[in-house]
Amino acid sequence: TKDARTISIGFSQSISEEDNWRKSMDNTMKVEASLHPEIDLTIYNANGSTKKQIEDIEKMIEKRVDVLIVAPYGSDSIVPVIEKANKKGIPVIIVDRKVNTSNYTAFLGADNIEVGHIAGKYIVSMSKAHANILEIKATTAISPSVERSLGFKQIIDQYPNIKKTTITALNLESINNEFIKVLDNEPNIDYVFAFNDIIALQAWEVAKRKGREKNIKFIGIDGLNDPNGGIQAVKEGILTATILYPTGGSEAIKLAIKLANKEIVTKNNVLNTILIDSLNADIMSNQFDRIAIQQSNIETQQNVIGEQEKKYLTLYNLIKLLTFL
Ligand code: FRU
């Protein structure tokens, strides 16, 4: 029989599931939640609107969810509603992007400064500290962009023979325009270090149109294991490397359960990251495939158990009815 006590978890996702990284975060949360019958998980999607994200969180405060998980879109406008939830005693877990307040319960995400360091050290070692790099950042309104860039700079700045130019990609269209300009002005670009794999792949497309893609090494971030993801692009030799940036979906649910059970949790929970290049891309994707198969086996088993429970319940009710007759 089912545990009578349910834990309601509300998750505010910032960006639509057309973004595969977001979809993967939502999916891993759902899978983890399905392993705990006492959990009732509701996902709200703000579709890239801070206004909608604030409204979603307001709703969850009103519903008095037991735990609130937020993947913030921006770091600032969201602060008052996060602080409101915290004041009302709802445990709040922030994932991925940071918020400009410390009035939340726990943060969960990979260390983006470390991600920048890994990319920087990789280029230094591959190029023997002689390289011309183009960095493609995302908007400064989000912490991963600022931190990845800062970490990268901390390494690169130590080497006088490494030159770095930086452009900001606000959307895929702007990468096309900006990157074409750079390609036209700079005949020798050795590396492109991009904010994420999507941007790195877009830059590769632009370079390909100009016949320059073979002379440039593209490095992205995220390392999703799907047909359009970074690991596949590394296997195909399109990206030279990607840095794994885990979504933390299942860890967020585990943390939420601890909080609902009034356990003490660490405020800053760091997810591991790793560089994926041609040397380990196969191993990594095999591992991820295996985990995915195990997860789907667990889900199938759970459905079977659910069906059995229903059958027994019907049988049990029938017997009860018969014995009363
Ligand atoms: C997905 C994404 C990822 C990136 C993360 C940073 O929406 O842009 O590509 O690593 O968000 O917040």
pLDDT in tens, 216-274: 999 999 999 999 999 999 999 999 999 999 999 999 999 999 999 999 999 999 999 99
Q: Tell whether ligand 1 has an atom less than 6 A from the beta carbon of residue 195.
A: no
Return d(Cα 32, Cα 287) in angstroms, integer.
Answer: 18
The pLDDT of residue 127 = 98
The pLDDT of residue 4 = 54
Kindly list the distances between the CA atom of residue 291 and the CA atoms of 36, 270, 296, in Å, as whole numbers in the listed order. 18, 21, 9
Q: Tell whether ligand 1 has an atom less than 6 A from the beta carbon of residue 256.
A: no
Q: Tell whether ligand 1 has an atom less than 6 A from the beta carbon of residue 26.
A: no
Decide if pLDDT at 5 tops 80.
no
Q: Which ligand 1 atom is at minimum distance from the Cα of 97?
A: 12
* Degrees to nearest 5, angle at CA 250 with 246 and 254: 130
pTM of the predicted structure, to 2 decimals: 0.91
Q: How does the average pLDDT of the chain come out, rounded?
A: 94
Pocket test for ligand 1, best of 142, 222, 273 (most atoms within 8 A of CB): 222
Decide if pLDDT at 98 tops 80.
yes
Q: pLDDT band at residue 307, thresholds of 50, 70 and 90?
A: confident
Return d(Cα 110, Cα 272) in angstroms, integer.
Answer: 6
pLDDT: which is higher, 271 or 34: 271
Return d(Cα 240, Cα 301) in angstroms, integer.
Answer: 39
- Residue nearest atom 4 of ligand 1, based on CA coordinates: 196
Q: Tell whether ligand 1 has an atom less than 6 A from the beta carbon of residue 196.
A: yes
Pocket test for ligand 1, best of 140, 147, 245, 276 (most atoms within 8 A of CB): 245
Q: Tell whether ligand 1 has an atom less than 6 A from the beta carbon of residue 98.
A: no
Distance from Cα 106 to the centre of ligand 1, integer Å: 19
- pLDDT tens digits, 193-211: 999 999 999 999 999 999 9
108: which strand partners? Answer: 95, 269
Q: Tell whether ligand 1 has an atom less than 6 A from the beta carbon of residue 15.
A: yes
Q: Kind and range of the H or E element at 243?
A: strand 241-244
Q: Tell whether ligand 1 has an atom less than 6 A from the beta carbon of residue 147.
A: no
The pLDDT of residue 303 = 82
- pLDDT tens digits, 131-182: 999 999 998 889 999 999 999 999 999 999 999 999 998 887 888 888 999 9
Kindly list the distances between the CA atom of residue 294 and the CA atoms of 15, 52, 287, 290, 297, in Å, as whole numbers in the listed order. 27, 35, 11, 6, 5
Radius of gyration of the chain (CA): 23
Q: Tell whether ligand 1 has an atom less than 6 A from the beta carbon of residue 221.
A: yes
Distance from Cα 21 to the centre of ligand 1, integer Å: 7
- pLDDT tens digits, 271-294: 999 999 999 999 999 999 998 888
* Degrees to nearest 5, angle at CA 55 with 54 and 57: 65
Decide if pLDDT at 2 tops 50.
no
Q: Which ligand 1 atom is at minimum distance from the Cα of 143?
A: 12
- Average pLDDT rounded to a whole number, residues 56-83: 97
Q: Tell whether ligand 1 has an atom less than 6 A from the beta carbon of residue 242.
A: no
